[in-house]
A = this chain, B = another copy of it.
Amino acid sequence: MVQHQSVLDRSFAALADPTRRAILLRLGRSDASITELADRFEMTLTGLKKHVHVLENAGLVTTAKLGRVRHCSLGPRRLDEVTKWIASYQTLLEQRLDHLEAFLERTKGTP
């Protein structure tokens, strides 16, 4: 199932959870180990790992094992695709508003 989803699908799905968004914001400040994140968010290691796995699967987080500790950092995809999609949608809405304004301007004098 998951492998058929696009990067955009996986990114939006990863962001649809408050803990996962909070993990991204935490890693935006500095890297952290799985244990540090679990402590910070008062979760079990298993629960935290599941969230990190979803973020990793979307390319938003990368993990690396150094000795016995698994370190997490922000991944190569820094919401680039998500930001692009949102921007193109907002542009579409602005164009629609411009067309509406132009129409109202044209018909202003019309009884």
| Structural contact, A16 and B13, CB atoms closer than 8 A | yes
- Among A33-41, A62-70, A78-86, A103-111, the stretch that binds chain B is A78-86
Residues of B within 8 A of A8 (CB): 18, 21
| Structural contact, A92 and B12, CB atoms closer than 8 A | no
| Structural contact, B79 and A90, CB atoms closer than 8 A | yes
Q: Measured between alpha carbons, how far is A90 from B24 in the docked complex, in Å?
A: 11
Q: Return the CB mask of A1-14 against B: 1 if under 8 Å, else 0.
A: 00001101110110
Residues of B within 8 A of A76 (CB): none
Nearest CB in chain B: distance from A26 CB, A: 10
| Structural contact, B25 and A89, CB atoms closer than 8 A | yes
Q: Measured between alpha carbons, how far is A85 from B85 in the docked complex, in Å?
A: 14
Nearest CB in chain B: distance from A52 CB, A: 17
Nearest CB in chain B: distance from A15 CB, A: 4
| Structural contact, A9 and B18, CB atoms closer than 8 A | yes
| Structural contact, A12 and B9, CB atoms closer than 8 A | no
A-B contact pairs, 23 of them (CB 8 A): A8-B18, A8-B21, A9-B16, A9-B17, A9-B18, A10-B16, A12-B13, A13-B13, A15-B85, A16-B16, A21-B85, A25-B89, A25-B92, A28-B89, A28-B93, A29-B96, A74-B93, A78-B90, A79-B86, A79-B89, A82-B86, A83-B86, A83-B90
